[in-house]
């Protein structure tokens, strides 16, 4: 049983070349086309779910239109993958919307292709708004020295623990560090319980461990991987996962083996003591395993503390919008406290760092996620990230399987990632 599937990425080299040749705009947009007395319509493309769309269409858009009577918002909803393909094809036919809610990992692709507009230095209140959001969520819009959007909703991965499984092994305190996990693993194994379950070895899965140990995929400017993904701290994190797997503390599903319990079933049933996952799991478990009460905790700390990976969606202005000023007003509205609280009630975690008490009042289990977001990071913001992710997944698996040492695997990863950054 699979939940919260990661995006399916299409091959995009030809599409990017086409976008780059067809969309020729200045990186800095002017707001000279300010809204006038004439009524304008802006189109907003999203992939909101059926449970989230009513809040947008019945509450937020009417509120925005009431406050801005000269602006009409037309909402068009797609599936996640259909929205990505629609953006690609529409960029080549000049039939794009004004604003889009995009997956955070799409931003480098559409920024490079001049589809998304640069907001810093252009959107009048960008600087003010950018200070109200979590840094990790803002960074998902950063590409080649500029910001091409703002975070709209977010999530991250935290530890979900089955305390009954730990108690069965005589463990009364959840692991807070890598060292704690290594100490707990044999106690749980003696009871036939895996310490930790996960569903893969890509960045979504292993970057929390690499970052928590002080490692990195690339340097700060995303121009080189050598000395970073194969640096001592990154290699030690991969070795840590490898040691746990060899000791029988991690099930084979992390390496893609079929037939094993998913983390959804494994943690709820007590076969796995813990996993890392997102806030969508609480209602899923509540529906499927009503007697299971997961306990949330931060990612166990390595040498650099506790860190995790940022997920979610951004809101982006289309560079060729003919209604820039109206679109910028709508973007600012969607980042307002009222709009963010409304979408939180619909199931989206707010990106505003000032709403902790309001958000946790709506869903108390959000508290740990908000705490983790303070140190969560974005995956490498470059157009070739899907290929980089594939390299990470393959090389970490080779290390965990014992086919290469952790150092050899990460040295090969660095060599393969290096040309993908050029």
Average pLDDT over residues 394-419: 98
Token digits for 336?
Answer: 């307002």
Residue 192 structure tokens: 């036939």
* 117: β partners: none
SS3 of 140, please?
helix
DSSP letters of 358-380?
A: HHHHH-TTHHHHHHHHTT-B---
Q: Is the pLDDT of residue 24 over 60?
A: no
Do residues 170 and 277 make contact, with C-beta atoms less than 8 angstroms apart? no
Alpha-carbon torsion, ordered 87, 92, 98, 102, to 10 deg = 20
Residue 31 has pLDDT above 80, yes or no: no
Beta strands in 216-365 (DSSP E): 272-277, 295-297, 310-317
User: Which residues in 22-61 are b (16+ Cβ under 10 Å) and which e?
Assistant: ebeeeeebeeeeebeeeebebbbbbbbeeebeebbeebbb
Q: Do the Cβ atoms of 399 and 122 come closer than 8 Å?
A: no
pLDDT at 20 (0 to 100): 52
Starting at the edge strand found earlier in the chain, the sheet holding 99-103 runs 71-77, 40-46, 99-103, 310-317, 150-156
Percent of the chain scored above 90 by pLDDT? 89
- pLDDT tens for 75-115 read 999 999 999 999 999 999 999 999 999 999 999 999 999 99
- List domains and CATH numbers for the chain: 13-155+311-373 (3.40.190.10), 158-308+384-421 (3.40.190.10)
Task: Tell me the pLDDT tens digit for each residue of 5-22.
Answer: 444 444 443 454 445 544
Which distant-in-sequence residues (6+ apart) come within 8 Å of 99 by Cβ? 42, 43, 44, 45, 315, 316, 317, 318, 321, 327, 330, 331
Q: What is the pLDDT of residue 259?
A: 85
The whole-number pLDDT of residue 32 equals 38
Predicted confidence band at 257 (pLDDT cuts at 50, 70, 90)? confident
Q: Kindly report the length of the chain.
A: 422
pLDDT score recorded for residue 37:
64
pLDDT band per the 50, 70, 90 thresholds, residue 3 = very low
Cβ neighbour number for residue 77 with a 10 Å cutoff: 18
Does residue 303 surpass a pLDDT of 60?
yes
Residue 8's CB is within 10 A of a number of other CB atoms, namely 9
Residue 17: which H helix or E strand, with range? Answer: helix 13-22
Residue 65 neighbours by CB distance under 10 Å: 14
Nearest to 398 by CA among 416, 371, 376, 380: 416
Q: Is the pLDDT of residue 69 over 70?
A: yes
Q: Among 18-22, 193-197, 268-272, 318-322, name the one with the lowest average pLDDT.
A: 18-22
Q: What is the mean pLDDT of residues 380-399?
A: 96
Task: Count CB neighbours of 135 within 10 A.
Answer: 17
The pLDDT value given to residue 38? 87
Give the mean model confidence (pLDDT) for residues 168-191: 98
DSSP, res 335: T
pLDDT at 68 over 70: yes
What is the chain's percent helix, strand, coil content, to nearest 5? 45, 15, 40
More confident residue, 62 or 50: 62
Round to whole Å and give the CA distance between 174 and 184: 9
Looking at residue 13, what is its pLDDT?
39
**Do 376 and 191 contact (CB within 8 A), yes or no?**
no
Cβ neighbours, 10 Å, residue 305: 14
pLDDT tens-digit series, residues 139-156: 999 999 999 999 999 999
345-361 confidence digits (pLDDT tens): 998 999 999 999 999 99
> How is the beta sheet containing 272-277 ordered, strand by strand?
194-197, 272-277, 158-161, 295-297
Nearest Cα neighbor of 146 from 113, 119, 109 is 119
Sign of the C-alpha dihedral computed for residues 281, 284, 287 and 291 taken in this order: negative
Which pTM value belongs to this model? 0.87
Mean pLDDT score, 203-227: 97
| pLDDT (0 to 100) of residue 2 | 35
Tell me what the mean pLDDT of segment 378-382 comes to: 94
Residue for token digits 């698996």? 397
pLDDT above 70 covers a percentage of the chain that reads 91
What mean pLDDT value characterizes the chain? Answer: 92
Contacts of 391 (CB under 8 A, 6+ apart): 413, 416, 417, 420
Burial class (CB in 10 A: 0-12, 13-18, 19+), 18: middle
């Amino acid at each position: 049983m699979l939940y919260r599937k990661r995006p399916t990425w299409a091959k995009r080299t030809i599409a990017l070349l086409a976008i780059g040749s067809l969309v020729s705009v200045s990186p800095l947009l002017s707001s000279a086309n300010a809204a006038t007395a004439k009524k304008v319509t802006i189109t907003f493309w999203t992939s909101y779910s059926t449970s989230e769309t009513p809040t947008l269409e019945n509450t937020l858009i009417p509120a925005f239109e009431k406050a801005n009577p000269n602006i009409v918002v037309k909402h068009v909803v797609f599936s996640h993958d259909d929205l990505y393909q629609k953006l690609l094809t529409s960029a080549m036919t000049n039939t794009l919307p004004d604003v889009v809610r995009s997956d955070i990992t799409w931003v480098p692709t559409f920024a490079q292709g001049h589809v998304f507009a640069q907001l810093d230095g252009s959107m009048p209140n960008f600087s003010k708004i950018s200070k109200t959001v979590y840094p990790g969520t803002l960074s998902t819009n950063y590409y080649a020295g500029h910001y091409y959007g703002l975070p709209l909703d977010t999530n991250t991965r935290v530890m979900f623990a089955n305390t009954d499984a730990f108690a069965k092994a005589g463990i009364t305190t959840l692991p807070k560090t890598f060292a704690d996990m290594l100490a707990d693993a044999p106690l749980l194994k003696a009871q036939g319980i895996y310490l930790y379950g996960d569903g893969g070895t890509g960045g979504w899965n292993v970057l929390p461990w690499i970052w928590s140990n002080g490692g990195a995929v690339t340097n700060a400017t995303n121009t080189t991987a050598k000395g970073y993904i194969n640096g001592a701290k990154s290699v030690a994190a991969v070795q840590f996962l490898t040691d746990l797997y060899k000791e029988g503390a991690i099930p084979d599903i992390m390496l893609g083996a079929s037939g094993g319990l998913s983390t959804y079933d494994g943690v709820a049933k007590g076969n796995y003591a813990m996993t890392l996952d997102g806030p969508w799991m609480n209602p899923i478990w509540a529906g499927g395993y009503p007697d299971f009460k997961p306990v949330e905790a931060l990612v166990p700390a390595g040498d650099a503390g506790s860190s995790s990976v940022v997920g979610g969606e951004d809101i982006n202005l289309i560079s060729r919008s003919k209604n820039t000023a109206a679109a910028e007003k709508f973007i600012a509205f969607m980042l307002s406290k009222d709009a963010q609280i409304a979408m939180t009630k619909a199931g989206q975690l707010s990106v505003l760092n000032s709403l902790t008490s309001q958000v946790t009042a709506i869903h108390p289990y959000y508290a740990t996620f908000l705490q983790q977001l303070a140190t969560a990071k974005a995956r490498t913001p470059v157009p070739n990230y899907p290929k980089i992710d594939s390299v990470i997944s393959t090389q970490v698996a080779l290390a965990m399987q014992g086919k290469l040492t952790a150092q050899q695997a990460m040295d090969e990863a660095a060599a393969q990632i290096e040309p993908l950054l050029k």
